[in-house]
Structure formats: structure tokens, C-alpha cells
Structure 1
Amino acid sequence: MGFKKILSSATAKAPSNIALIKYMGKDDYSLNIPANPSLSLTLNSLCSYAEVKLIEAPEGSITWLPALPQSVLQEDKGRIKTMSLSESGKCRVTAHIERVIAEASSVFLPYGLSFVSSDHLSIEVKTANTFPTASGIASSASSFAAITLATVAALAAEKKKLNQVLKENTHFRAELASLSRKGSGSSCRSFHGPWVLWQDKEVSSLRSSLPEMSDLVIVVTAEAKKISSSDAHRRVLSSPLWQGRQIRVSKRVAQLQEALVANNLKSISKIAFDELWEMHSLFHTSSEPFTYWQPGSVKVLKWFIDFLQQFDEPLIVTMDAGPNVHVLVRTSQANSLREKLSVSFPDFQILQDSQGSGATIID
């Protein structure tokens, strides 16, 4: 292999997010426009890293490499793992990077930013997660947010100026979130935090009076799910429960926003639990019924139903489109709850994370 002349390189970090009101069903599949609004909490260290390098080459190409980004090698102590992508997954990443390049002028120029020409360039991308991929912990969201931001940063003629605009201009961050959404819908929520509302094409942070929250994830299995979220979006439309869902969700979103401002954990807990059951009931009642639940999922949910009355304050229990169970709790009580969970479920890994503020450029 000959010497590679690297013209630019950037690494971004983007956190996962856990939705209490779910993104399920689409109005526009090509742009990932949701059929209903969603509301989520952005996490912090349960995240993805993406490294993008621009390399001088006579003919352009985009290559995903199964290796850790260089800037996280020193951090890797078994916690950060490179992703394993299928051929379709690699094509999806490549298509998104091409999309970011194609839209570079509309992203950069309105904010006084310049970018390098992508002519005669090859692009190499490396990605990694701190949690299991494709197991229902929103790895697609964090991955595409990180890939979007790393690509934009690698293209920037002045990375320092780009980073300043990213930190100071909420409109620019929203532009990047919208661009990321076209690769993975829920990735747009990973650009903001901690509490985030995504409605139609718009995504923004929300007011909240809650104390700092943490997410405990009971990992029933780290295996990749058999039914992709994209497939689930299509199948739920055939469920008899789909009728009226947009109305029900809009009502829940309004109630949840009020509860966040009022610091009403009891109301938030009920809304989140209702939404959990409704989304998974859509899966179970579609014309091609399917489930993400495993015996361990049911065991954990039953434990929470029995345990909720015994805890000092309401717990916020939810699940994404996967088998693993999330519980949000005040950060001050997270360690205590984790100990209880570890005793009750010694065979399941328990992940713990705090709330975060969204995607960042780290190199």
C-alpha cells in the first residue's frame, strides 16, 4: 500500500438518546419525516465515535474500515468497540456521507463557513460504540449523528471556526441535526439535550425543572435485533391500534412537556409506561406480528410493575424497539437502584449513564 496523503481528519462523538414518546411510523420515508412527534432524553457516555479522513486520490471513493478511531485508542479499555456493519449498513453509511458532501454548500455558506472541495478525494470512515450495536439502545441515532458531524468537520476549511459556530449558534446545530435525520431519523435528537422534542422537520431542546437524571439499561441481550427499526416503521401501519395514534401521541407530548416543567415525576412515569406498552402493542398486532421481547424483558417489566410501589418516588420505565429495558431515575439515586437491579438480575449487564447535551467535535 502506497503512502496516503491525508488532507483533513476529524473525529466526533455523539450520544445515544432514549425516547419516552416514540418515533414510530413515517410520513416521508425518503426524508425520515415522522408520523408523530417524539420526546427524548439525550445521554452522555453511551455514545458513538466517528472518524472521517479526507485522502488525496485520483478517483474518489468512500470506505468504512472496521477499526477504532485513532483519537479513542488511548481511551479503549474494553469499553469502546468497533462496529460490525453488514453490506447494507456500509451502503447506508456511504450514501449518507455522499449526502453530507452534496449539501455542504447549503450547510456552510449561510454561516460564513468555507469548506474544502471533495474533488479527487477518497474518504475513510471508522466508527465505534460504547454499547451494543443494533440491540435497541439507539445505536443508529448516535452513529449517524457522529458520522454527520465528523464529515462536516473534516470538510471544514477552518475546523476551529466551525466548532465555535456549533457551540454558539443553535440554528447551525439544528441544520446539522436536520441533515443527520436524513440518514437516521432519531439521530437528529442526539444533537441537542438534555430533553429534546422532534416534530416534523424541527428538533429543539426543551425546558425542564427536573433534577439531573440518569438512565439505567438492563441489557437482556446484546444480540442484534432481527427486525430492523426501518422494517418496524412500515409494519406498524397495519396494526388496528395505528388508527388514532397521532392524536394520542400529540396529547401525551403536551402532557409530558407540562410535567417536565412542573417536575412531576409521577405524571412522567405514567406517560412513559403507557407509551412503552402502546408501541410494543403495535408490533404485536401488525398484520405481520413480531416482537422484540424476550423472556428476560417480561421478567424485568414484571419486576418493575411489582417494585414501582415500593420505591421512594416514581421511576420512568421505557423500552426502545428492542428487548432491553431502560429506567430513568434521579442521578442521586441511580447507584442505589443499580445495586437493587444487580441483585435481582445477576445474569444481565446493567449500563448506567447520565444526561448529556448532544454531539461534539473531539478532534
Structure 2
Amino acid sequence: MTEKDFIPTRYTNQAGRGSFTWSAPSNIALVKYWGKKQGQVPANPSVSFTLNNCKTITKLDFEKKEGKSDFSFDLLFEGKPKEDFKPKILKFFQRVEQYVPFLKEYHFTIHTENTFPHSSGIASSASGMAALAMNLMSLERELNPEMTDEYFYQKASFLARLGSGSACRSVKGNIVVWGEHKDINGSSDLFGVAFTGTVHPVFHNYQDTILLVDKGEKQVSSTVGHGLMHGHPFAQQRFAQAHENLSAIKKALAGGNVEEFITIVESEALTLHAMMMTSQPYFILMKPNTLEIINRIWKFRAETNIPVCFTLDAGANVHVLYPESYTNQVMEFIKAELVAYCQNSQYICDATGNGAIIL
């Protein structure tokens, strides 16, 4: 597939007004994407767990208008106008217009809400852009009813990517790969693909308890962060490492090798932060409490042999990952030892999910 495959030649149907509602989840990368090329193309492949509870629910009302003057939309977040979100939506519409050329023909009202607190440090751009892309594809399917399901989901992921890179991993599947990789059939830089390899039952319904260490706004935006990989002294080694780690995690997922999974996932999280500590300018996004939690997880794992591990996004919060069968023991440990290091003792319980759904 190329970008041109997503430019429609003609529409066979018409749609005057209506609405769709989709929910799309956040996701947590196991092998991290950090660094991108022109056009939201990843510098290295990544693989993520799709989450289940942390999601964005977006209703899109559309109404045909006179003429095609410009983009026209209202945005309501949790029922109230949200002006500071609008520039991001406008930029997204500008990026995707050639692929969904009907955009200027409609006035849209976008009602959106998250099931998790906004600015809780959970990637809401991934779930938000994925939910919006699903709605736009539902409208395009009204205009082109012959569209196949495969094309629908591929193009939704493709559009979501143009809003927020990681959003392309929030469309489909428990485990999603984004970026071309020799061991992943059908993998693409243009959209995420559901991981089709064997997955051992130990990784089914894998748990992710998100410890909210710092709920403040991001210290460095993702766009700026990815840009720091241009000319980074360790960039090429990092990109090669990501390819190797994706091959290795594929084997670990198939064989149920939780120890190897833990080694890769924790190494990837620390590598992501190492890249930021060694860029120009440099950043330390972990907080003292992040390090305290990591050390306590390591100590608990060594003492109990319970296969619990951590991963991090580009921030201070800690995702605690573990098999479902250890939920009781790990939750006792989290409540007894880790919650004290969370802002206002806040944490979110989640697990792997199936991607976007229409409501």
C-alpha cells in the first residue's frame, strides 16, 4: 500500500446529515517508537498493548453546508467548548483533507470525552485521534458503501497516524505493530497492523496498572521529543535495537517467556528515557518517585519471583505490567508500597483490550 491508495477517486452515495459515535482506547508501547521522518513516518517499528478502560469516546455530528469555503467545526470536551483543542483538530483536518476530500463540505460538531482524567499523563492524543479517525471513516463509508472492512480499518489507522503517530496503534487488535519489520507480515510505516503471531495464553488479558506519579502537562511535547532524534549521537544504534527487540519480543510472546518479555520491556522504557537524557537539549522526565517505584518493583520481583515489570511513556508515570493470574498479589503490593508515591494516591487499573468500537 502507498499513500495514493487512500485517495478516493469518487463517491457513489450522498449523506446530508447524521452522526456516529466511536470509542478508541489508549495504548502502551512495549517496543518504543521515538524519532520520525517526514509525514509522520516512524524511524523505527514499535509494538504496543492496546488498553481496554482508558479510552476516548467521540460523537461526530455532521451536516452538509452550502459551498466548500473552509473547514467548519465546533468542539465540545465533556460537554463544554474547548477552544485550545481546536488548533490540533484544524491541523489534523489540513493534513488528511486529500484523503477525505469531503471535509469542507460539512459542518461538524465533535463531542469528545475521556474515561480517564485529562492531563493525567495518559496519552489522550492516541485515543482521541483514533476515535475521530474512526468517525470520519464511518462517514466515508456512507459515501462509498462498497468499502471493504480491511480498507476501512487500514485507512482509519492511516488517518489516525497523521493526527498522532501512536494513534494508529489504537484502532485494532490486542497487540499492534506499527512500522515495517522483516518478521511481521503486512507491517507498514503507514498504519498499524494487528499482531498475527502466536501469543501464549499467559499474555492474554495482561494487566496494566498505571501509577499517576505526575499529572502535570508534559515537560516536552512528543513532537519536540521526536525531533530531538535528528542528529542524536545514538539514533542509528537505537533504531537498530528496536528492530532486534521486536524480533525478540515476538519470540517471547509466542513461547510464553515472561522473563525475556520483562527484560525487553524494561530495557525499552529505560532506553527511551536515555535518549532524552542524551539529546540536545536534554531532559529528565522521570521524577524521584518514578525511580523509587522502579526500585521497589525490582525488589518485590526478586523476593517473590512474581513476574511484574514496568514500562514508561515519555513522562513520569509508571505502567505496572503483569499476568492476570497474579492480580491479587500485585495489587496488594501496589496498595501497600507504591500508591504512596502517586500524586493524590491515584492509579488506574487497566488491561489489554480489542481496539476501537462503534457505539
TM-score by length of 2: 0.83
Q: Which among 39, 49, 68 is matched to residue 41 of structure 1?
A: 49
CA contact (8 A) 1:48 1:143 kept: yes
Q: Is residue 2:85 matched to residue 1:93?
A: no
Q: Percent identity?
A: 29
| Amino acid in structure 2 at the alignment position of 1:32 | Q
- Alignment correspondent of 1:27: 37
Q: Whole-Å Cα distance in 2 between the matches of residues 270 and 26 of structure 1?
A: 25
1:52 CA displacement = 1.1
CA contact (8 A) 2:63 2:106 kept: yes
Q: Whole-Å Cα distance in 2 between the matches of residues 18 and 233 of structure 1?
A: 17
Q: Is residue 2:352 matched to residue 1:344?
A: no
CA contact (8 A) 1:12 1:359 kept: yes
CA contact (8 A) 2:126 2:164 kept: yes
Q: Which among 148, 156, 164 is matched to residue 184 of structure 1?
A: 164
Q: Is residue 2:134 matched to residue 1:149?
A: yes
1:235 CA displacement = 1.5
Deviations 1:245-287 (A, max 9, x none): 1111111110001111111110000001111111101111112
- Alignment correspondent of 1:51: 59
1:319 CA displacement = 0.2
- Alignment correspondent of 1:62: 72
**What is the aligned-residue RMSD (CA, Å)?**
2.5
1:242 CA displacement = 2.1
Rate the CA distance shift 1:104–1:141 in 2: closer, same or farther, 3 A. Answer: same
CA contact (8 A) 1:55 1:121 kept: yes
Q: Which runs of 5+ in 1 are unaligned?
A: 1-5, 70-81, 106-116
State the secondary structure of the residue aligned to 1:191: coil
State the secondary structure of the residue aligned to 1:334: helix
Q: Whole-Å Cα distance in 1 between the matches of residues 193 and 105 of structure 2?
A: 37
1:63 CA displacement = 2.8
Q: Which among 199, 204, 207 is matched to residue 193 of structure 2?
A: 204
Pairing of 1:103-122 with structure 2 (within 5 A):
103-104=99-100, 120-122=105-107
| Amino acid in structure 1 at the alignment position of 2:321 | L
Q: Whole-Å Cα distance in 2 between the matches of residues 311 and 351 of structure 1?
A: 23
Q: Whole-Å Cα distance in 2 between the matches of residues 246 and 100 of structure 1?
A: 27
Q: Which piece of structure 1 moves more, 50-59 or 336-345?
A: 50-59
State the secondary structure of the residue aligned to 2:230: helix
Q: Is residue 2:257 matched to residue 1:257?
A: no
- Alignment correspondent of 1:361: 358
State the secondary structure of the residue aligned to 1:240: coil
Q: Which runs of 5+ in 2 are unaligned?
A: 1-15, 180-188
Q: Whole-Å Cα distance in 1 between the matches of residues 192 and 140 of structure 2?
A: 24
Deviations 1:294-327 (A, max 9, x none): 1221221121122221234322310011110001
| Amino acid in structure 2 at the alignment position of 1:353 | D
State the secondary structure of the residue aligned to 2:55: strand
Q: Which piece of structure 1 moves more, 297-306 or 58-67?
A: 58-67
TM-score by length of 1: 0.82
Q: Which among 114, 126, 133 is matched to residue 111 of structure 2?
A: 126
Rate the CA distance shift 1:361–1:100 in 2: closer, same or farther, 3 A. Answer: farther
1:135 CA displacement = 5.0
State the secondary structure of the residue aligned to 1:51: strand
Rate the CA distance shift 1:61–1:218 in 2: closer, same or farther, 3 A. Answer: same
Rate the CA distance shift 1:288–1:135 in 2: closer, same or farther, 3 A. Answer: farther
- Alignment correspondent of 1:222: 215
1:150 CA displacement = 1.5
